[in-house]
Structure 1
Amino acid sequence: MDLQISIFLLFFLFTAGHSLSCYECTSQTCTQEIQCPYGLTSCLNAKFNVYVAPVTVRGCAPSVCPSGSINLGFGRGSSLCCNTDLCNDQKLPDPANAPNGMKCYSCDGNTCSNTVKCSGTEDRCFKATATIGGKSQVLKGCVSKSLCDATKLIPGVESASCCEGNLCNGVSSITQSFLFLCCSLLSFVLLH
């Protein structure tokens, strides 16, 4: 019995001290390795193209780290999470792959009536309010379900919602609400 306890304790001591190693950088070539701090149990590899300027980020992430893609109209991004040593050097899936037939509304700063074509795993439309540079902004676009489920983890996001179906994140729902309000008001006037 004492031998079993000793082996268990020895195994525990050897495995408890091991933390995950990930590449960390914000450029295209990453060679810096880091040991992840306590609580960060995944490696993240993310890339976002705003207009034509790509930004790559690699590093440690919490265990709830989704993989997927997002399309805001003015920029596209994708992320990949993994949980083995130095696994975040993998090539990311191209977020601009073949359209999947779905469309969502997007915002350009002045209006949110633009549309974008969703592609790959982007199977949801989203609407979010976020604080960017001290200013509250509405963001709309296409997103993968896995990223939709993790919007609460993104700093600066005040509210976010996702929906399924073409153009479910915008103008049509406002038009329907306005139409319902007008019909209700008209019936009230006619019946009283």
Structure 2
Amino acid sequence: MHILALILGTVLLPAACALQCYECIPGLSLNCTETTKECPSNTQCGSFRIISYAGGTALADVKMKMCALAEECSEASVNLGVAQAVITSKCCTSDLCNTQDAPGGTIPSPNGKKCYQCDGIDCTKTLTCNGNEDHCISVAEGETTKVKGCTSKMICSNTQIAQISAIIGAEISCCQGDLCNSPSTAVTTTSHLMMLLFVTLLISLVLFS
């Protein structure tokens, strides 16, 4: 009898103790429906918020909820010069605790690090990075450079880069060190600002898709 109870307890306990979190992951429409989800044992409940800026003005405010790894529960940003995106998070470890939205983020202060950025077709201009942006980023399609700028370490993990590249159909590379994303000439066929906003928002959204 004791052996049977032990076996049943071993089988049923993980299911009974699985963390339940709210989940709401928007698509490209930026809308989502909140549901509940049983999360893996190595995750927390997380609320995330992505605010995209153009010229210092907030243009999009995307909120989402999901199961999250501890390393994802941090602040990050993508800075392409005119267009930027700031990611904030709020994580917790009890059932359905991610009821509140993550706090709104603002453009962080300059940190002194520098990367190359693209201004129109000129990718030789320098950009001062902000906050915890400690990597330089480049986005290219074939031999054509699309955008360059600064970004945070979280966005530059091998897994994230591979996922983002596959979805947006472009090669993304990161490096660490001032001006490590070598200068070049960009060729664009759409509005430069629209390209920057599109890539910035997509990079941010794909992180949590």
TM-score by length of 1: 0.66
Offset, 1:164: 1.9
1:120 aligns with 2:121: no
**Kindly, what percent of the aligned residue pairs are identical?**
28
Q: CA RMSD in A?
A: 3.5
After the TM superposition, which residues 127-146 of structure 1 pair with which residues of structure 2 at under 5 Å, given as runs? 127-129=138-140, 138-146=146-154
For 1:71, the equivalent position in structure 2 comes to 79
Would you say the 8 A contact 1:105–1:167 is kept in 2? yes
Would you say the 8 A contact 1:23–1:88 is kept in 2? no
1:59 aligns with 2:69: no
Tell me the alpha carbon deviations over residues 17-55 of structure 1, each in whole angstroms, 9 at most, x when there is no partner. x642135569xxx9963224888x664322221332431
Unaligned runs of 5+ in 1: 173-192
Matched length: 162
After the TM superposition, which residues 94-173 of structure 1 pair with which residues of structure 2 at under 5 Å, given as runs? 94=106, 96-129=107-140, 138-149=146-157, 150-154=160-164, 155-171=167-183
Q: Which has the larger radius of gyration?
A: 1
2:36 and 2:13 map into 1 onto residues whose CA distance is 21
Distance 1:102 1:88, change over 3 A: farther
1:69 and 1:151 map into 2 onto residues whose CA distance is 14
Distance 1:97 1:38, change over 3 A: closer
Moved over 3 A (4+): 22-26, 30-33, 36-39, 41-44, 60-67, 80-85
For 1:4, the equivalent position in structure 2 comes to 6
2:80 and 2:178 map into 1 onto residues whose CA distance is 15
Distance 1:62 1:114, change over 3 A: farther
Offset, 1:166: 1.8
Pick 1 or 2: higher relative contact order, CA cutoff 8 A, min separation 6: 2
1:130 and 1:14 map into 2 onto residues whose CA distance is 48
Distance 1:127 1:25, change over 3 A: closer
Q: Which amino acid in the other structure matches residue 54 of structure 2?
A: V
Tell me the alpha carbon deviations over residues 114-168 of structure 1, each in whole angstroms, 9 at most, x when there is no partner. 222101100111111269xxxx761100011111112222220521211222222
Would you say the 8 A contact 2:115–2:136 is kept in 1? yes
Offset, 1:102: 1.0
For 2:103, the equivalent position in structure 1 comes to 91
